[in-house]
Amino acid sequence: MTSEEIFTTEKNFQLSTYSKLELAIVRGSGSWVWTSDNEKYLDLYGGHAVCALGHSHPDVATAISEQAQKLMFYSNVVYSDVRAKAAERLVSVAPIPLSKAFFCNSGTEANENAMRIARLATGRSNIVSFAKGFHGRTADSISATFLGKYRTLGEPNVPGHLEAQFGDLESIASVIDKETAGVLIEPIQSMAGVREASPEFFKQLRAKCDEVGAALIFDEVQTGVGRTGEWFFAGSEAAGGVVPDIVTLAKSLGSGVPVGACLVSDGMAASIKENDLGTTFGGGMIAMAAVNATLDVIARDGLLANAKNIEAWIRDACSHCKAVKAVHGKGCLLGVEFEDRAHPHYQKLLDAKILTGMSSDPSVLRLLPPLNVSEDEIKLFAEVLSA
């Protein structure tokens, strides 16, 4: 099909709920994707923060195709070698005391389950989350999303959701109390424009949760699985060493195969009984094969250190561009803040066949490149930026 035919067919037969680029992507390799008219784009948006190893990484492609020929699926009513390995592998890179995994299918589902765990563990119902955080579009997650129009799209919202101000110590002291089951935070607020909070804020947040007996949940759907140059934001220097009770993951975890997960502390896990949580597809064999291959490649190829190099290359490129006011974020989750609106720069990059992303802050353009994008590829971005 030509690009025009693909556009027309999708428009005719898909519910039009997405604002799309006029691009029909049919192939990808490394940091590059190709349109059906064989035009090549450098993808510094990583397929929407998903393709941490680049596109169609050969190890992941081989792992899922070999698994597909052995066993595509059986649910959680049976044990599975590939699921056992994925759970062990994921827990082995998580900070203590995160010691149990629950697999599901997406980021919003991971957050729904994390909030359920917090409620079950505490016997309370209130959830505190933060202004401008994004947590997904299903009922509970969208009710926790105090960003622009999203929460109202989810009306009637789930009761018991309260809003605190990100990075604001006074706000957490007044909103989190003995009725709080859990505090859900996106530790770097990506969609809001890659907003960060101080390590001290995370320490105080941990202390406040401990004081009132509430569960602390990090939504690491974007920050997790190596993107910030650490396996997880949890336990990192940027978090002040704070480890939450639950971490939620999705996006990069399966390198493009849909998969989500909650990593749960010993303490929280002790309150969860049979049938408290469940999903048919969570922990399916294809997804688990993708998780194992993703974690293996990140470790084998030193991609955590590489994510930090990439951040340095991008910061250097931006430091030579007068239009850039600041660069926010860590590793391969960066927000380039312009003195003026970011969209003209986004458009110039797109015209030069470089994909980046906008954010809900009109002055911030987001870069979410694969963790193995090369220095030469970042130079292509730098050239357009300086021009």
Ligand X SMILES: Cc1ncc(COP(=O)(O)O)c(C=O)c1O
In the complex, the smallest distance separating the C-beta of residue 149 from ligand X, rounded to whole angstroms, is 15
CA nearest neighbour of 75 among 280, 299, 313, 373: 280
Ranges within 259-318 binding ligand X (CB under 6 A): none
Phi, psi of 336 (to 5 degrees): -95, 110
Q: Tell me how many residues contact ligand X (CB under 6 A).
A: 13
In the complex, the smallest distance separating the C-beta of residue 256 from ligand X, rounded to whole angstroms, is 12
Q: Is 329 in the site for ligand X (CB under 6 A)?
A: no
Q: Which is nearer to ligand X, 83 or 135 (CB)?
A: 135
In the complex, the smallest distance separating the C-beta of residue 190 from ligand X, rounded to whole angstroms, is 6
Binding span for ligand X by CB under 6 A among 2-10, 30-38, 105-113, 306-314 = 105-113
Q: Which is nearer to ligand X, 111 or 372 (CB)?
A: 111
In the complex, the smallest distance separating the C-beta of residue 211 from ligand X, rounded to whole angstroms, is 26
x-marked contacts with ligand X along 170-189 as a string, rule CB under 6 A: ----------------x---
Binding span for ligand X by CB under 6 A among 132-140, 159-167, 199-207, 300-308 = 132-140
In the complex, the smallest distance separating the C-beta of residue 129 from ligand X, rounded to whole angstroms, is 11
| 275 phi-psi bin (left φ>0, alpha ψ -120 to 50, beta other) | left
CB 70: neighbour CB atoms within 10 A?
A: 10
In the complex, the smallest distance separating the C-beta of residue 55 from ligand X, rounded to whole angstroms, is 18
Helices and strands, counts by H and E, the chain: 14, 17
Report the first-to-last Cα separation within the chain, whole angstroms. Answer: 35
Ranges within 211-250 binding ligand X (CB under 6 A): 219, 221-222, 250
Q: Is 195 in the site for ligand X (CB under 6 A)?
A: no
Determine which residue in the list 134, 166, 231, 313 makes contact with ligand X, applying CB under 6 A. Answer: 134
Distance CA 39, CA 36 (A): 7
Report the DSSP pairing between strands 195-196 and 188-189: antiparallel
Q: Is 107 in the site for ligand X (CB under 6 A)?
A: yes
Distance CA 102, CA 234 (A): 17
| Contact assessment for residue 166 and residue 131, using Cβ atoms and an 8 Å cutoff | yes
Q: Is 361 in the site for ligand X (CB under 6 A)?
A: no
Residue 40: DSSP 8-state: E
| Contact assessment for residue 231 and residue 92, using Cβ atoms and an 8 Å cutoff | no
Cβ-proximal residue to ligand X, closest one: 107
Q: Which is nearer to ligand X, 250 or 295 (CB)?
A: 250
Q: How many Cα neighbours within 13 Å face the side chain of 87?
A: 19
Q: Is 333 in the site for ligand X (CB under 6 A)?
A: no
Binding span for ligand X by CB under 6 A among 11-19, 76-84, 100-108, 205-213 = 100-108
Q: Is 255 in the site for ligand X (CB under 6 A)?
A: no
Distance CA 257, CA 290 (A): 7
Query: Residue 13 burial (CB < 10 Å; 0-12/13-18/19+)?
Result: exposed
Determine which residue in the list 35, 67, 143, 190 makes contact with ligand X, applying CB under 6 A. Answer: 190
- Write out the residues near ligand X by the rule CB under 6 A: 106-108, 111, 134-136, 186, 190, 219, 221-222, 250
